[in-house]
Structure 1
Amino acid sequence: MDILEIMQILPHRYPLLLVDRILEIELGKRIVGLKNVSINEPYFQGHFPGFPLMPGVYILEALAQVGGILMIKSLNLEIGKYAVVFAGIDDARFKKPVYPGDQLILELEAIALKKSLSKMKGTAKVDNQVVAEAILYASARELSQLKK
């Protein structure tokens, strides 16, 4: 799945769209996405000057976005009508830093996929080494419900 299809599924846009490509998807089971980490990411201006590291919250958000694609595709939700929002996170661990120039591989395995509340195990890797992992919870909401 290329960036154009990703942008049809996810409502995120610059600077918060954190998925460049979907490499694999098994509906209802698992998904693998890719994020090319560039020095041009806006967070590198302040995290940290002279020693750029990708913030952990952005790694988790990238995992969540890939998980959102798995939810929308697996649950056959109408594209453009739903957004997937974070509902919780457990057991987040950051094992190695992520630097500009890295390719972040984002793997999610479905534990339970439901529109009201899904649970997925996420693992982020660089050069086949785990850099972060977490259990993510998410809910699919109609975009119209998210507006005030």
Structure 2
Amino acid sequence: MARNLKALGLWRTALVASVRQDGPDLSARQLAILLQVYLTDPPHTVRGLASLLNISKPAVTRALDRLSVLGFVKRKRDAEDKRNVLVQRTVKGSVFLSDFAELVIAAGAVTPEDMNRIQADEALAAAAKAKLEAELIEAPALETSAS
């Protein structure tokens, strides 16, 4: 449970920092679609995004309307299949997500308390590894001397 609370606390910290900035507030759906477009390989279509996110095409369209107005994505008719609309990345969307990533990184910055815990865990792991390695070296020597 503590791990869950820590993860939620990090997310809250990043979101609070995001809404405090002078920029647009994106809904969870809009942010999920934006991340899907930017973090996965194109091409992206309304139909494909709806399928991947398991939401309706009209819900994707509404989110894309808002993201388009903000300049974070653009839509273009597919030249090969006129029925498809391709969702494309923009420089403004890249900048927004880069700034948002910095907020997430800052929210997840390691505290001195966390660093002490990490160092203690690493020391325990190193000691356990050294003990196992010593036992592995001694085991063949014991077998040879017992023969």
Answer whether TM exceeds 0.5 for this pair: no
- Looking at secondary structure, tell me which structure has more strand per residue: 1
Q: Which has the larger radius of gyration?
A: 2
- Looking at secondary structure, tell me which structure has more helix per residue: 2
